């Protein structure tokens, strides 16, 4: 069974002050494209072996970000955090699930549902710099 990797797009994009606020959809698309190879290659920094099912949760101005092979985008109707919690809760119980976010409240919410949590640097080594 594939590991489910759920990425909090707003949080990960916002972790690098590279002008993302001028083009939120473009920033989400760049993140999506950065994530795509992990579906087949795995994510060594988080000890996630391939294949991975990657879901990029987008919200607000980035909601029109399209899926690509390897990364399914999920546009939150409201709060991206609430959508991530729903995705974690809806997964099969025996399935490994990892959420990428630095949001403390979200980390607590998904961990209570059995998900593992890792920070933005896992998928974006330049985060926090």
- The single-letter DSSP state of residue 1 is -
User: Which tokens sit at 129?
Assistant: 């710099």
User: Which tokens sit at 97?
Assistant: 């699930």
Q: Tens of pLDDT along the chain (129 residues)?
A: 689 999 999 999 988 878 787 899 999 999 999 999 999 999 887 789 999 999 999 999 999 999 999 999 999 999 999 999 999 999 877 889 999 999 999 999 999 999 999 999 999 876 655
Question: In which region does residue 17 sit, left (phi positive, over 0), alpha (psi from -120 to 50) or beta (all else)?
Answer: beta
Report the alpha-carbon distance of residue 23 to residue 82 in Å, rounded.
Answer: 23
The per-residue b/e assignment along 1-18, b for 16 or more CB within 10 angstroms, e otherwise, is: eebbbbbbbbbbbbbbee
Report the alpha-carbon distance of residue 54 to residue 1 in Å, rounded.
Answer: 13
User: Which tokens sit at 2?
Assistant: 């594939």
């Amino acid at each position: 069974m594939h590991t489910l990797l759920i990425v909090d797009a707003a949080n990960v994009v916002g972790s690098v002050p590279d002008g993302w606020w001028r083009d939120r959809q473009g920033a989400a698309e760049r993140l999506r494209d950065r994530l795509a190879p992990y579906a087949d290659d795995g994510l060594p920094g988080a000890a996630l072996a391939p294949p991975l099912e990657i879901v990029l949760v987008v919200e607000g101005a980035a909601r029109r970000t399209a899926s690509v092979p390897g990364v399914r985008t999920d546009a939150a109707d409201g709060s991206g955090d609430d959508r991530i919690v729903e995705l974690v809760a809806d997964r099969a119980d025996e399935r490994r699930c990892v959420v990428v976010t630095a949001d403390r409240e979200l980390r607590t919410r998904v961990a209570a549902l059995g998900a593992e949590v890792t920070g933005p640097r896992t998928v974006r080594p330049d985060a926090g710099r």
